[in-house]
Chains A and B, each alone.
Chain A
Amino acid sequence: MRPIIRVEGLSKLYYLGGSGAAYSTLRETLMESLRKPVRYLRRGNSGSEKLWALSDVSFEVTPGDVVGIIGRNGAGKSTLLKVLSRIVEPTSGRVELYGRVASLLEVGTGFHPELTGRENIYLNGSILGMSRREIETKFDEIVAFAEVEKFIDTPVKRYSSGMYVRLAFAVAAHLEPEILVVDEVLAVGDAAFQKKCLGRMRDVASTGRTVIFVSHNMAAVSSLCTKAMVLWEGKVEYPLGSVEGAVQQYLSQVHQMTKTRLAERTDRQGNGRVRIKDFATFDGQGNELEYLATGQETHFRIYYSSEDTSVQNVAVAIGITSNSGGFVSMLSNQVAGDTFESIARDGYFTCKIKKLPLMPGNYTAGLIIRSNDVILDWIQQAVTIVVEPGDFYGTGRMPPPTHSGVLLEQEWTLNGSRQTDAGKE
């Protein structure tokens, strides 16, 4: 079958200017143009850093495919979607689209808080490329899907955030383009609504429309997509093919990456006043562990070094995600109520877990250090945590892995006999 999307040698170059500001003022430009010749003489043209957000990406999509594009943050997924949606222009390469494209990089694009639900449906629909007639015929369906019938003539600024998202998604869900480009918008709304949206996307695909879907959520990709592709630093790491293969590739990639020493990782964000040096796990007796075990006392240590000792009110967090991409737990000294007013130049934070409630399996943890809500250092997918089976309950028994995400302390009692119940309640 002929492709509906053909992408050939697509590349996109961004200049990360030294100034950092996305836009400039006239004065800066004038000063720049004065300085430029001098700088050329001094050290050649090394003014701005280049970043190939996409480099030489090629693939073809046949009609009816639901393509998952996976990759870490900064792998180029969003840039690819933006190019396909005609929001940014590629630096080189070519894309041919043989169908109408609707892109959904965000729900509720162009929603205006002052306008009513009804007015916003028209506005948003037309921004997403629906014709007025199309909106009119689908209007009732959209309202019903969003479950906001009663508030349709209320300004959306008075909506609850749930209603707002539902309405926004309802409009988007009723787009009927040949090609639907979706960013990770499913991560909004409550679980029931997410399910409804996933169902709606399946419907779209089953009518022979093509969907391009970007996600971190391996579970969503596996259940939704018919093909997948992995991007890595702007390049195609795993060409468009089987979903299982792509997911495997992605997971092993993440695993590979977490083997790099944290101090040497470059994919970090934050101002760098404090830097994460290392991460290690220990048992209750202080023995370093390579693998954790369910139910064991576990200490997580984050080693850091700080530029100076003036950093105040430090917040540290470990975000644990399962391999299917969902968050399992967020460990944070702020949540636990432990405050670190000031820190030494070097040291480590310890987070003690009395009984590790994680089911056996592989997990990924992101590490972040903040100070008064300013990010000092943040490494996403910093380390892999391997949890081996252990005896959490002291009974030698475990729930089946298919039926459990985490283990909870539990105690059971039985109140059954009528005599003991009598008089109560």
Chain B
Amino acid sequence: MKQTAPQTIPVASAISAENSQASGTTLHLPDEPLVVIQANNKWNLINLSDIWAYRELLFFLTWRDVKVRYKQTLLGAAWAILQPLFMMIIFTIFFGRLAGVDSAGVPYPIFALAGLVPWTFFSNTITASGNSLVGSAHLITKVYFPRLIVPAAAMLAGLVDFVLAFGLLIVLMFYYRVPLTTQVLFLPALVLLTALFGLGVGTWMSALNVKYRDVRFALPFLIQLWLFVSSVILPSSSVPAKWRWVLMFNPMSGIIEGYRAALFGLPFDWPALGVATALTIVMLFYSIYSFGKAERTFADII
């Protein structure tokens, strides 16, 4: 092996010749360090290649969350379907029957369910991601990996429940004989948008939660309020036209109306979807930025 002079003077290192063992190993050291550890190393920057390198861990953490979630429950994964189903029944009784909500010609139960399924995904994502870092304190203080994987795995685990609940929605659509149109092709994009917005909010919450444990208490409350302004129960058209622009600031409203348009062949509200996409991107960047900033100190304060 080629002997290269050290680039810097070995400060305070007393490796005398007699002590340094002449090991005849053929270990080839790279010329550049694989890792440099310094203060402010990753200021405001999430290392995407690092996350890619740890993609298997992302898979395993997601798999663990899915696997463990319904352990020791009687109904198991049926909970993924039961939650939105019961909400749908309650909403149908109170809003569909008693209040007679106008659901754009679609039977109210599936109108509500089309909102509830993505909403449940979103609210589960921000709850699970928001609490994920604090819940993984034992990992964070013991081993290195890109921390962003933790809230991301929580989101992906929720995606499994979402798919199950979506199955229920499709079944009910057949039951109510609501035909599918080619607009269902927009669904993957909408799912992606929901996932990314959930990830954005959840990641931000998870970083805040490390510092301020208030998040844990505020989050359920926030989610309850958010539900009422997300066009889950009532269509956005029920809001007076004059005020509808306010709703645009809530991406979930636009996204949920997007799901309905895609599923029931209704016209898309493109401005609302456009604003939702823009806000999702902004949210995602902001949360990754603030997460990256906070990441450096997680292990110190968690």
Contact = CB atoms under 8 A, between A and B. Distances in A.
A87 B71 contact: no
B212 A85 contact: no
Contacts of B211: 23-24
B244 interface: no
B34 interface: yes
A208 B23 contact: yes
A39 interface: no
Interface stretch (B105-113, B120-128, B268-276, B292-300): B292-300
Q: Interface size class for chain A?
A: 35 or more
A184 interface: no
Given A109-B138, A126-B56, A86 B37 contact: yes
B167 to A, nearest CB: 25
Interface string B42-77: 000000000000001101110110011001100000
A99 B29 contact: yes
Contacts of B138: 109-110
Given A89-B297, A114-B72, A59 B13 contact: yes
Interface in B283-302: 296-297, 299-302
A60 B64 contact: no
A101 B33 CA distance: 12
Interface string B3-43: 11010101111111001110101110110011111111100
B143 A109 contact: yes
B36 A95 contact: yes
Interface stretch (A238-246, A257-265, A309-317): A238-246
B177 interface: no
B139 interface: yes
A239 B12 contact: yes
- For the complex, would chain B's binding face be called helix, strand, loop or mixed by DSSP majority? loop
Contacts of B213: 23, 25
A100 B302 contact: no
Interface residues of B, number: 60
A178 B36 CA distance: 16
A48 B57 CA distance: 38
A84 B37 CA distance: 8
B1 interface: yes
Contacts of B23: 63-64, 208
Interface stretch (A2-10, A318-326, A387-395): A2-10
Contacts of A94: 36-38
Contacts of A3: 6, 10
A236 interface: yes
Interface stretch (A115-123, A294-302, A366-374): A115-123
B51 to A, nearest CB: 14
A106 to B, nearest CB: 5
B143 A89 contact: no
B163 interface: no
B141 interface: yes
B142 interface: yes
Nearest to A116: B67
A170 to B, nearest CB: 17
Contacts of B37: 83-84, 86, 89-90, 94-97
B214 A239 contact: no
Given A26-B214, A86-B37, A89-B297, A241 B68 contact: no
A213 to B, nearest CB: 16
Contacts of A1: 1, 3, 20
A178 B6 contact: no
A69 to B, nearest CB: 14
A8 B56 contact: no
Nearest to B40: A89
B210 interface: yes
A29 interface: yes
Nearest to B30: A98
A269 interface: no
A2 B3 contact: yes
Contacts of B175: none
Interface string A199-222: 000000001110000000000000
A154 interface: no
The 3 A-B residue pairs with the shortest CB-CB distance, nearest first, are: A208-B25, A64-B23, A96-B33
Interface of B: 1, 3-4, 6, 8, 10-16, 19-21, 23, 25-27, 29-30, 33-41, 56-57, 59-61, 63-64, 67-68, 71-72, 138-145, 210-214, 296-297, 299-302
25 contacts: A4-B29, A6-B33, A14-B300, A23-B210, A26-B212, A58-B11, A59-B12, A85-B143, A86-B37, A87-B144, A89-B38, A94-B36, A95-B35, A96-B35, A110-B139, A115-B68, A119-B64, A122-B60, A126-B56, A126-B57, A127-B139, A208-B25, A209-B27, A226-B21, A240-B14
